[in-house]
Chains A and B, each alone.
Chain A
Amino acid sequence: MRKYVSGKDLIIKLITDIGVDGANYKTLEFGGKGLANLPVSDRLTVANMAIEAGGKAGIFPADSETLHFVRKFAKGKWEKVDPDAEASYIDVREYSLEDLVPMVAMPHLPENGRPVSEVDVEIDQAFLGSCTNGRIEDLRIAAEIIKGKKVAPSVRMIVVPASSLIFRQADEEGLLAIFAKAGAFVSGPTCAACLGGHMGVLAKGERCVSTTNRNFVGRMGHKDSEVYLASPAVVTASAIEGRIVAPKGASA
């Protein structure tokens, strides 16, 4: 994949192509040569958002990356399961990862994806976190982009590591200090503003670019607020610019 393109861009593109009910009651299974270039963190984002296409599950074959991850985190017994060679599928879509560009899903459905280069939207808030994109890899990419820069004065940037483990890791790696120095607010792990819970609840007319998974009407607060779904790289670059952009160095 190109620099600053990630699993988030792949899944927004896919949901845009098949629709928010494109996989209703089905399972999205991913495979192919590109997997070797898709780290587990990206796969987790893709699998997480398979649900936004109506899917029951999003699954990947277990390769050496998966096994490394599972050995580190799994508790109890587990067994590797592979797709049958003769398995048949309702539909097969092919994507070339190197052709993917930074994407953004416009309000108010995850299927409203567009290349970031085609949008011109000023924002009030940038949200980095959630089950979808609050992993250490996400925070590293964001820190790399924002290091030595400042969040635009018109923007609230909220950074929420997805778990206490990731929070501590990000702290030890100095990432939280980078965010704080740039003017972002760092919270302890929580769902936070993703579902309009607390801290970053949008007011009337406000717009947020967010690494979360849903952008329905009123999802993050007022019914007349707007949520734009994008990758950690796009959210961070947008926080700096005050409008939705891809990071410099990303090819559109």
Chain B
Amino acid sequence: MKTLRGNVWRFGDHVDTDQIIPAERLTSDNNEKLGSYLFEKARPDMSAKVRKGDIIVAGRNFGCGSSREHAPRALLQAGIVAVVAESFARIFYRNAINVGLLPVECKVQADEGDVLIIDVDKGKIINETKGTENEFSPFPPFVQELMEKGGLMAKIKEEKRCTE
């Protein structure tokens, strides 16, 4: 799998799904606008400033709250490609994988605006700004395959096309 490189947006512990995407923005199945409401209440300036490829670094229990997959989807649509957190709420974790957002469980030192490189195959995170390096357990092959294909739905659609 490819290596990711992006700017850091820094968050703390227990970032909940209502913060990530407020429930009142989930009024349609057409989710194209979700990204523009990302962290609308918690960090109203963020969605306009996020650049494609940016990375969130957070503390414990990222994504606690709801099982609605709009949360990882909103992050992706805004341009976030990976979340690096000390731990994830399990209600968010697999949703992230299923929609193609990389959730990396790893404690890293990073400040807002630092540049982070994630080597997914080797399980390495390099903070280019600080010159520090951390390791994480590489994902099992089936998860890597899912992520490469853009998530569970994309993978199933592709397989369906193959059998038709």
Q: State the CA gap A214–B42 with chains docked (Å).
A: 16
Q: Please report which residues of chain B, range 56-97, place their CB below 8 angstroms from some CB of chain A when the two chains form the complex.
A: 60-61, 64-66, 87, 89-91
Q: Quick check: A24 and B19 within 8 Å, CB to CB? A: no
Q: Please report which residues of chain A, range 162-219, place their CB below 8 angstroms from some CB of chain B when the two chains form the complex.
A: 195-197, 201, 214, 216-219
Q: Give the interface size bracket for B toward A.
A: 10 to 19
Q: Quick check: A20 and B14 within 8 Å, CB to CB? A: yes
Q: State the CA gap A219–B64 with chains docked (Å).
A: 13
In the assembled complex, how far is the CB of residue B12 from the closest CB belonging to chain A, in whole angstroms? Answer: 12
> Does any Cβ of A come within 8 Å of B138's Cβ?
no
In the assembled complex, how far is the CB of residue A52 from the closest CB belonging to chain B, in whole angstroms? Answer: 8
In the assembled complex, how far is the CB of residue B31 from the closest CB belonging to chain A, in whole angstroms? Answer: 17
Q: Quick check: A216 and B19 within 8 Å, CB to CB? A: yes
Task: Tell me the dominant secondary structure on chain A's binding face.
Answer: loop
Query: Which of the residues B16, B60, B61, B91 comes within 8 Å of A216, measured between beta carbons?
Result: B16
Contacts of B64 in A (CB 8 A): 20-21, 52, 54
Count chain B CB atoms within 10 A of each CB in A52, A109, A216 and give the residue with the most. A216
Task: Tell me the dominant secondary structure on chain B's binding face.
Answer: loop
In the assembled complex, how far is the CB of residue A143 from the closest CB belonging to chain B, in whole angstroms? Answer: 29
Q: State the CA gap A54–B60 with chains docked (Å).
A: 12
Contacts of B16 in A (CB 8 A): 214, 216-217
Q: Quick check: B61 and A217 within 8 Å, CB to CB? A: no
> Does any Cβ of B come within 8 Å of A248's Cβ?
no
Q: Please report which residues of chain A, range 25-69, place their CB below 8 angstroms from some CB of chain B when the two chains form the complex.
A: 25, 51-52, 54, 56
Contacts of B91 in A (CB 8 A): 51, 54
Q: State the CA gap A107–B41 with chains docked (Å).
A: 15
Contacts of A147 in B (CB 8 A): none
Query: Which of the residues A20, A56, A196, A201 comes within 8 Å of B61, measured between beta carbons?
Result: A20
Q: Quick check: B90 and A214 within 8 Å, CB to CB? A: no
Residue on B nearest A214 in the bound complex, by CB? B65
> Does any Cβ of A come within 8 Å of B53's Cβ?
no
In the complex where A21-B14, A201-B24, A216-B16 touch, is A54 in contact with B65 (Cβ < 8 A)? Answer: no
- In the complex, 26 of the A-B residue pairs with CB atoms within 8 angstroms, ordered by the A residue number, are A20-B64, A21-B14, A21-B61, A21-B64, A24-B61, A24-B90, A51-B91, A54-B61, A54-B64, A195-B66, A196-B23, A196-B24, A197-B23, A197-B24, A201-B24, A214-B16, A214-B66, A216-B16, A216-B18, A216-B65, A217-B19, A218-B18, A218-B19, A218-B22, A219-B23, A223-B42
Where the two chains meet, the residues of A that have a C-beta atom closer than 8 Å to any C-beta of B are 20-21, 24-25, 51-52, 54, 56, 109, 195-197, 201, 214, 216-219, 223
The 6 closest A-B pairs by CB, nearest first: A223-B41, A195-B23, A21-B61, A218-B41, A216-B16, A216-B18
